[in-house]
Structure 1
Amino acid sequence: MNLEAYVERTESGPCFVCAFLAGNPNYPHETVFEDADHIAFLDRWPTLPGKVLVAPKVHVEHVVRDLNETAYSRLMLFVREIALAVEAVCESERTYLYSLGSQQGNAHLHWHIAALPSGVPSSQQQFHALMTENGVLSLPPAQRDEMAARLREAVSARGVLKEG
């Protein structure tokens, strides 16, 4: 991953979530699950196996102010269900949930779901495990597709979310 190019793209390019949803070939992601209002997809530059992003399909920028209570609750239920699927597939010691972005780049509200594997030394956990500066996993397309399929199966097996 070229971090300088990434920062430039986030600050000057289109909204990556909206571009992905519109089918822009420069913003490809493997969809894990979607319903009428939300989408979950594999992180393009994962730092941990099975790292997933979740976003509302409509362009929303602020995690608290831009969603009414019902929309916020529905989004968080979706995040929870995807996180439980990630845990089922990736067998995590801890699951990190966080929302990043700013008005300068990656403004579209999105949640990161990252499963910390057991046995990671404490010095390589938390922020260290999440920072692309410390390395990203390079998975061939077939492995990404397999991970997305396994996560999709785990979501479907729980039966809480309905595709749409």
Structure 2
Amino acid sequence: MYEDEDHVAFLDRWPTLPGKVLVAPKAHVEHVVRDLDEAAYVRVMSFVRKVALIVERVLEPERTYLYSLGSQEGNSHLHWHIAALPPGVPYEEQQFHVLMTEDGVLDVPPDHMAALASRLRDAIMS
């Protein structure tokens, strides 16, 4: 969807919300606190913010969730999730509930994913 010299942003293959984006540094980093110096942390967080603002502009969510998860046993590469909560989701279905793949993922056709990626990329470039 979008990248700069040090980071990449792409649509989640198994989204729980429409337009869920993942952001990661291109260099292999495992720990957000100990593996990034302050300058690298500020750069990646600025990239996350830039992408999140575009997600908000395009999808107009009620709230945007930003979080970093991972596991040494599973996905050890540092990454952030940008998840745009659509307006009208009942409170009891928000927050962690709406983010958990155990509660289901969206079946988004590839052409819809490509169109959304294009809209987001176009918004970043404008």
Q: TM-score range by the shorter chain?
A: over 0.9
Say which of 26, 37, 46 aligns to 2:15.
46
**C-alpha RMSD of the superposition:** 0.6
1-side partners of 2:115 and 2:73: how far apart?
Answer: 34
1:92 partner SS: coil
TM-score by length of 1: 0.76
1:13-162 alignment runs, 5 A limit = 32-157=1-126
Which of structures 1 and 2 has the bigger CA Rg? 1
Q: Structure 1 stretches (4+) deviating beyond 3 angstroms?
A: none
What code does the residue aligned with 1:74 have? R
2:62 partner SS: strand
1:113 partner SS: strand
Task: Give the drift of 1:134.
Answer: 1.2
Task: Give the drift of 1:104.
Answer: 1.1
Show CA shifts across 1:117-155 (max 9, x none): 010000100001100111111111110000100111111
Task: Give the drift of 1:102.
Answer: 1.4
In structure 2, stretches of 5+ residues that fail to align are none
In structure 1, stretches of 5+ residues that fail to align are 1-31, 158-164
Identity between Structure 1 and Structure 2 (%): 71
What code does the residue aligned with 1:48 have? L
2-side partners of 1:122 and 1:97: how far apart?
Answer: 18
1-side partners of 2:19 and 2:33: how far apart?
Answer: 26
What code does the residue aligned with 1:93 have? E
In the comparison of the two structures, how many residue pairs are matched?
A: 126
2:34 partner SS: coil
TM-score by length of 2: 0.98
